[in-house]
Structure 1
Amino acid sequence: MIPEGIGGWIRRRARSSSEHPAIVFQRREITYGELAERVDRLAAGLQGLGVAAGDRVAYLGSNHPSFVETLFAAGRLGAIMVPLNTRLAPAELGYMLGDSAPRVLVSGAEHETTAVAAAEDRDLIRVVVGVPESAPGAGVLDYDGVLRDADRDALVPASTTLDDPALIIYTSGTTGRPKGAVLSHGAITWNAVNVLADYDLTSTDRALMISPLFHVASLGMGCLPVLLKGATVLLEERFVPGDALRSIESLRATAISGVPTTFQLMTEDPAWATTDISSLRLLTCGGSAVPARVREAYEARGLAFSGGYGMTETSPGVTMLPAWHSVDHAGSSGLAHFFTRYRIRADDGTLAAPGRPGEIEVSGPNVFSGYWRNPEATEQAFTPDGWFRTGDVGIADEDGFLTISDRLKDMIISGGENVYSAEVEQAVMTIEGVTGVAVVGMPHERWGEVPHAVVTLAPGRTLDPEELVARLSLLLARYKVPRTLEIVTELPRTASGKVRKHELRRRAEDRA
């Protein structure tokens, strides 16, 4: 029996594309037929360890085929996969393990020390990927051994439905303790269908995955739609600009997705000018708007970006900006995905007219089910009529193109005027030599708050407050121009690339 949920995807695809490569990892091809066999064996192995429908299976590791296998094997059993952020400290991971209470933790050998610390004193089974069978310690199982010893014929798949939970993905925690967003089989499926409806992805595409799969954008907008379509995932263990460029050339990648920083770093790599990237035809970028100079560097080589907006709770796609609108709607996050809707709610509770800012609310089959074991947060996340409240401020034009203004919590109120930091950040990024910026509110005796800019610069570049004010005064109203400037070597970021603005606010308060 092939289950209705995502656990049946690979077995269904193998029926028609058995010999087609599903994953290429470290130059080794895994066909859909081979992947289906491995998924079934792993599902049987996990079932032998006691994993059943509703149980959680956590994963801690870099990009590896075992991540994909664990996801689909858990889906075969009706279990729920919990991808863990490898960049977190053991204490943070320990909180997530305590909250989700997985029966099994699968971890890569390179993260074994962290896994041991995070799983300390927790009642779970640990399985290690990428080590000889003799290497794991007492009570720790070898992933390859679990696969090899499993009896596929003994597998009893669960009767999952699209309403059943498939993933728990923890939010970045920029506003406090991370919350586990529960994504159903249906939410994941419909998000992938949205991607296939809105992007020109074909079964012959070879999509380079350079972002970590534990990040919902890489998984939901990249890996899963590619596998649903029967195309090929070119899986990079981690992002290194030069390695990514070499993979594009040698593996003839046709598609790549990432965040603005990854695309910028590739243009700054010494190999950028000499690497053959002529095979590329699809560039998708999320997280924030692509800086003009990065966009222009790719346009000079005949490529245009498709952008978009989304978040963990929407699996993650909400809007997409087609490549052919990347210039005339630069800075916009685009139109609603095919089967998804958004609306803008003004401060007074009414629906905002085009051109007026308000909170973005989302409805569609890709919206999450709620927060894991947190009914209060779930209730607060939805409107009375069932739309998800994103907490983001946006503006829609007459044609439905959405522009993200800011997070509600990032709004700066200076002298009674609202300052949206995203607008100020975009202006600062136009200054030559600026490579990154975050704008937060700094306490001010007279105005309540004033904008404070934290900036990173290219090597050899300088910028002083007077120059900043002079340049931005030509672009922004006076009250929006940062009064103070801090130069840093690196902005603090979460694993998904979001700036940890709460840290910068604390530093700004200390400076005030």
Structure 2
Amino acid sequence: MSDHSQSTVIPNEPIFKLLLEAARENRHVAVSDSIRGVNASYAQLLVDICTMHEEIRKRIPQSMFDARGLMPLETTCIFILGPASYVFILASFTALSLGGAICPLGTGANPLYLNHALEIKKYADGKGTDLYVVPTTFNIASSESPLNFNVEINQDLVLEQTRPGLFISTSGTTGPPKLVIHGRGVFVPSAGYQSGDVFLCHRSPVWFGGLRPLISVVLARAKLRIVARDASVIWESLRSDQITFLSTVPAVWTQLMEYYQSHISKLAREQAETYRQGVQKLRRAIVSSSSLLPSVQTFWVDKMQRPLMVVYGATELGGAALVRASAPFPDEARRIGKPSPGVLVKLSEGDHGQLLIKSPLAFLRYHGNPEATKNAFDKDGYYKSDDFAHREGDEYILDGRMIDYIRYYGYKVMTHEVEAPMTVLPYISEACVLAVPVANNAFTTERVGALVRLQSSHLIPRNSPCWDCRSTLERLRTDLSRDLAFHMLPTVVHLLHDGEQIPRTVSEKVNRREVVEKYFKPGSFNLLQDVKVWDLKCQNS
């Protein structure tokens, strides 16, 4: 790639100061994109950012920039359509260098993000601003070419860290998704990353936990290794790429466990050991987003000798709010540990209640929803999470989310208290417990529902004369009654078969509202072959 005859001017802020220092002082690989075959140093990354920066400036009318050469606040949002990749990273840094804010759209035309794009398009139309589409496909600089970057930080071009830097959606687990706006300071790396770390990236950038590392890991001078989101690919990378940092969601930790059990454990002992040794090299093995099932946690602790660190956060909080060390505890599945440095935590009722958090990286506001922004904080500026917890010493333990309570005949049943013993039953492969609405009942509006997948060895074809969903429900109730009170036992069950999946959000949490809509349509239980109901009359018949 040819040298720039004219220097590229970038803002005076921590993001670009850190990047420029890294490019001048480090020669090792910053981003290794295995999917696209790119291994880029910091210098190459900076050269490509400059190229894209100048290319976009040529394609967008100068009227889109203010007197300082930046995108004005009213038109700050830049959509980026694409998967996690080296080019996505370039586009993100370029958007920030222009004074813009990143809005990831990912791939697959997710209706959620397209709806947000349409909202902002309407906003732009109202301001009399055009929406431009700029393709980001271009020739990446060859790592073998001389990489002379001509970059100048304009000392007078100071950007406030509270200036919008990111538009990103919540997962929609506890209600309709909202578009969150973060300041640019959210990308400055935390103390969790170290120079020399190799961070394994496999998550979609359309949600916060997948996007932030694409920028902050690079700024921390750690190496970013991008691979496909596939259990076999992730295991191979753990075995051969010297990975030291893996942060992912329970669904992926579960898939990695299942792949080990079905494939790796059947290899020759010496070969299987190389995969286990790869796991042992992890300096940080983190589970985020939600709690692991006890059976999965047991695998990583007992089989792999690698307890997982738990990170608690939310899209609105901009990073890890609470962290639990990688050590086993009696109630470790729900223990979320201590507040991160700089984070304040309190409970609404003193030592228990709603979890309230004040973080220096908390979001600025919800897009187009000032009322929701106001209601998200208490009078002292603490973000009101949807979780309830209690405190033991200086650590916090989750009691559940507002949506996790099932109100059944005057009782309050926590979904995780039913899921935990259910998932360790030998014939259950996958399970989800949720509140199923009840119609025309004067005594209760919800019942304890279970969506389950049987182990293949227990699965009976649906067209078999021996197939009976009721027998599974009765067996579940009998087996669970050893650990659970009578009112906690499931009273409605749906059996999942091949091709049927548990609906999940983009952050891979169970979408319980969609589960109900798809598998437990109110008022039609008796008409569905795969749904069976237990009532008091069943016991008396």
TM-score by length of 1: 0.82
The question of whether the paired residues in 2 share the 8 Å contact of 1:266 and 1:272 is answered with no
Query: Which residue in 1 is equivalent to 2:98?
Result: 77
- 1:181-200 mapped onto 2 (5 Å cutoff): 181-189=180-188, 192-193=189-190, 196=191, 199=192
1:375 is displaced (CA, Å) by 0.7
Q: Which among 487, 493, 498 is matched to residue 504 of structure 2? A: 493
Aligned counterpart in structure 2 of residue 203 of structure 1, from 195, 199, 219 = 195
Q: Deviations over 1:435-458 (max 9, x none)?
A: 332222233423332211112333
- Paired residues of 1:57 and 1:81 also in contact (CA < 8 A): yes
Report the counterpart of residue 77 of structure 2 in structure 1: 56
d(CA) in 1 for partners of 2:328, 2:254: 20
CA shift, 1:425, in A, is: 2.1
Gap regions ≥5 residues in structure 2: 1-9, 66-70, 143-148, 266-270, 460-470, 526-541
- Output the CA distance in 2 between the equivalents of 1:441 and 1:203: 46
1:266 Cα deviation after fit: 2.0
Deviation at 1:83, TM superposition (A): 0.9
Cα 1:502/1:85, change in 2 over 3 Å: farther
1:365 matched to 2:355: no
2:170 pairs with 1:171? yes
Do structure 1's residue 252 and structure 2's residue 252 form an aligned pair?
A: no
Question: 2 CA distance for matches of 1:163 and 1:376?
Answer: 20
Instruction: Identify if the C-alpha distance between structure 1 residues 164 and 205 changes in structure 2 by more than 3 Å, giving closer, same or farther.
Output: same
User: Residues 476-506 of structure 1: CA distance to partner in whole angstroms, max 9, x if unpaired?
Assistant: 2222221111112310111210111112233
After TM superposition, list the pairs within 5 Å mapping 1:152-301 onto structure 2. Answer: 158-174=157-173, 177-189=176-188, 192-193=189-190, 196=191, 199=192, 201-220=193-212, 222-236=213-227, 238-269=228-259, 270-273=262-265, 274-275=271-272, 276-277=274-275, 278-279=277-278, 280-281=281-282, 282-299=284-301, 300-301=303-304
Contact 2:48 2:141 in 1 (8 A): no
Are 1:509 and 2:522 matched, yes or no?
Answer: yes
C-alpha distance in structure 1 between counterparts of 2:20 and 2:479, whole Å: 58
Q: Do the aligned partners of residues 187 and 254 (structure 1) sit closer, same or farther apart at CA in structure 2, a change above 3 Å counting?
A: closer
Which 4+ runs in 1 deviate beyond 6 A? Answer: 151-157
The answer to whether the Cα contact below 8 Å between 2:295 and 2:423 also exists between their aligned partners in 1 is no
**Per-residue displacement from partner, 1:22-77 (whole Å, max 9, x unpaired)?**
11012532111111222233233333324614321111211111221222222222
CA shift, 1:378, in A, is 0.7
**What residue identity is the alignment partner of 2:362?**
V
Task: Measure how far apart 1:224 and its partner are.
Answer: 4.0
SS of corresponding position for 2:335: coil
What corresponds to 2:339 in structure 1?
336
Q: Deviations over 1:72-128 (max 9, x none)?
A: 222222210001243454x54432112233999xxxxxxxxxxxxxxxxx9532233
Q: Is this contact kept in 1: 2:11–2:159, CA < 8 A?
A: no
Q: Which is worse superposed, 284-293 or 374-383?
A: 284-293
Q: Quick check: 1:371–1:377 contact (8 Å CA) kept in 2?
A: yes
Distance 1:416 1:267 in 2: 38
Structure 1 residues 85 and 403: alpha-carbon distance in aligned structure 2, compared to 1, 3 A threshold: farther
**Structure 1 CA distance for aligned equivalents of residues 50 and 72 of structure 2:** 15
CA contact (8 A) 1:425 1:438 kept: yes
- Mapped contact 2:307–2:328 kept (Cα < 8 A): no
Q: Paired residue for 1:318?
A: 321
Partner of 2:44: 34
Task: State which drifts further: 377-386 or 431-440.
Answer: 431-440
Structure 2 residue aligned with 1:480, among 470, 474, 488? 488
| Counterpart check, 1:459 vs 2:453 | no
- RMSD after superposition: 3.0
TM-score for both structures, normalised by structure 2: 0.77
Distance in 1 (CA, whole Å) between partners of 2:52 and 2:448 is 53
Structure possessing the higher radius of gyration over alpha carbons: 2
Q: Structure 1: where are the runs of 5+ without partners? A: 105-121, 130-141, 346-350
- CA distance in structure 2 between the partners assigned to 1:367 and 1:337 by the alignment: 13
